[in-house]
Amino acid sequence: MNILVVGNGGREHALAWKLAQSPHATHVYVAPGNAGTEKEEKVSNINIAATDILHLINFAKDNEIELTVVGPEVPLSLGIVDQFEAHGLNCLGPKQQCAQLESSKVFSKNFMAKYNIPTARYQNFKDSQKAKAYVDEMDSPIVIKASGLAAGKGVIIAQTKEQAYHTIEDMLEGNKFGDAGCEIVIEEFLDGEEASFIVLCDGTHALAMASSQDHKARDNGDQGPNTGGMGAYSPAPIVTRDVHDKVMHTIIQPVLDGMKNEGEVYKGFLYAGLMIMPNGEIKTLEYNCRFGDPETQPIMMRLESDLVELAFAALNEELDGYEVSWSNKTALGVVMAAGGYPDQCKTGDIITGLDQDDGVNTKIFHASTKRQDCSIFTNGGRVLCVVALGEHVEDAYHNAYDLVNKITWNNEYHRTDIGKRAFVK
């Protein structure tokens, strides 16, 4: 069958690569894709933006696409799944109403409150004076979030009340995040260790993907501004059997049940950002209605089951009791970014050292890259995610960084401590 992947990041490269390995896949198209996706066997790029839903539907009809997998949140928030389904096309992802769990933090926090899902104490504000008065009642640090989509950059952790006031002014008066920031969530700061908990849902049942941990801050030691993610590894030892069961019961299943209660069914990937606190409590930091980037890259390296079959099991509501098989190895991915990311950064630098992965134990997933003739150039903030497998996390770390050290461009930037917190001390 022909398959369409919507998006152009490292996540979409990993999804397209894995889908193309299925014997069910005749050809995988990626819209719009990147310089990495177009190089894969059985994969080609098509020049349609991820948000151009009308053209994507026409393409799917003209090219007998039997399965569409949506990577990023923006088309999901625009209702791509609702529109594909209205044309009788299979499209894996949540519908627009469910996608609000990610596209509106206000919706998401209110949903969590309504269905007793553990999360940080919060209030929503449109008015800056009221927001500041709430800050006055809180201890710092204070977490301030733009409600709308902001590519992982709309969360500010204010260390002082003054900083919190400035952030409130920036968002509510200064329009710093545009419409995404015209309503904000202010919540208590939670201390603990984060993990990414990603499941595939069929409307009633959720099937957990392998556990993983992202590194959201830009710099070593979790310092610097928040980014979309600077590296990830899987499995995450902090997600023990106990944690897993508790999360499925208190954080995942209530979403499926709650959505049904709201008159909708949740199908597709669901990502809960967790904070696991020293006292064993687990709280939900956020929901994303898609696979994580860069978590997808190491998780796909470990997936031994057929991703096309898995996608159809979700679409056909057959996930109950579905067995999924994972490599016992650890996979670790390091994001290589353009200097300056997550702020404005230079693009168009020529990348050297690509093509040194073997596609089994090591894999260079492209994110923002562009080919011109025979050369590949940087084309945005997060450029590559270099993933390696290892017997354990230290091994995977060394294998990944060996490869990272062979790749370069002008002003390249990466963290050097991805996965180190999972090393045996």
Residues of the shown chain interacting with ligand AMP in the complex, contacts defined by CB under 6 A? 120, 143, 145, 155, 157, 187, 189-190, 194, 216, 226, 273, 285-286
Which residue number, 21 or 226, has a Cβ lying nearer to ligand AMP?
226
Of 72, 181, 292, 381, the residue at the interface with ligand GLY (CB under 6 A) is 292
Among ligand AMP, ligand GLY, none, the one that 218 touches (CB under a kind-dependent 5 to 8 A) is: none
Beta-carbon count within 10 A of 124 CB: 19
Is the separation of the CB atoms in 366 and 301 below 8 Å? no
Q: What does 194 bind: ligand GLY, ligand AMP, none (CB cut-off 5 to 8 Å by kind)?
A: ligand AMP
Q: Which does 295 bind (CB under 5 to 8 A by kind): ligand AMP, ligand GLY, none?
A: ligand GLY
CA torsion, ordered 396, 400, 403, 408, to nearest 10 deg: -170
Q: How far is the CB of 34 from ligand GLY (least distance, A)?
A: 17
Nearest residue (CB) to ligand AMP, 216 versus 414: 216
Q: Which residue is nearest to ligand AMP (CB)?
A: 286
C-alpha radius of gyration, the chain, whole number: 21
For 111-123, the DSSP string reads HHHHTT--B--EE
One of 214, 306, 349, 412 touching ligand GLY (CB under 6 A):
214
Burial (CB count <10 Å: 0-12, 13-18, 19+), residue 55: middle
Q: Determine the 3-state secondary structure of 385 from DSSP.
A: strand
For the bound state, the minimum distance from the C-beta of residue 201 to ligand GLY, rounded and expressed in Å, comes to 17
Q: Answer for the pair 259, 265: CB distance below 8 angstroms, yes or no.
A: yes
3-class DSSP assignment, residue 222? helix
Q: CB burial class (10 A; 0-12, 13-18, 19+) of residue 189? A: middle
Does 102 participate in binding ligand GLY (rule CB under 6 A)? no
- Of 118, 152, 225, 237, the one binding ligand GLY by CB under 6 A: 152
Site for ligand GLY in 215-244 (CB under 6 A): 228-229
Integer Cα distance of 100 and 109 in angstroms: 11
Question: What is the footprint of ligand GLY within residues 294-313 (CB under 6 A)?
Answer: 295
Per rule CB under 6 A, count of chain residues that contact ligand GLY? 8
Q: Return the closest-CA partner of residue 28 out of 68, 76, 74.
A: 68
In the numeric block, the tokens 């963290």 are attached to 415
| 419 near ligand GLY, rule: CB under 6 A | no
Q: Which of 187, 202, 293, 412 binds ligand GLY (CB under 6 A)?
A: 293
- Comparing CB distances to ligand AMP, the nearer of 32 and 225 is 225
Our finding on whether 12 is near ligand GLY (CB under 6 A) is no
Using the minimum distance from each CB to ligand GLY, give the nearer residue, 131 or 335.
335
Contact status, residue 341 vs residue 381, Cβ threshold 8 Å: yes
Closest to ligand AMP by CB, 70 vs 190, is 190
| 89: partner contacted, choices ligand GLY, ligand AMP, none (Cβ within 5-8 A by kind) | none
Q: Which residue has the tokens 């799944």?
A: 81
Q: Which is nearer to ligand GLY, 148 or 229 (CB)?
A: 229
Which residues, listed in sequence order, are joined to residue 124 by a DSSP beta bridge?
Answer: 185
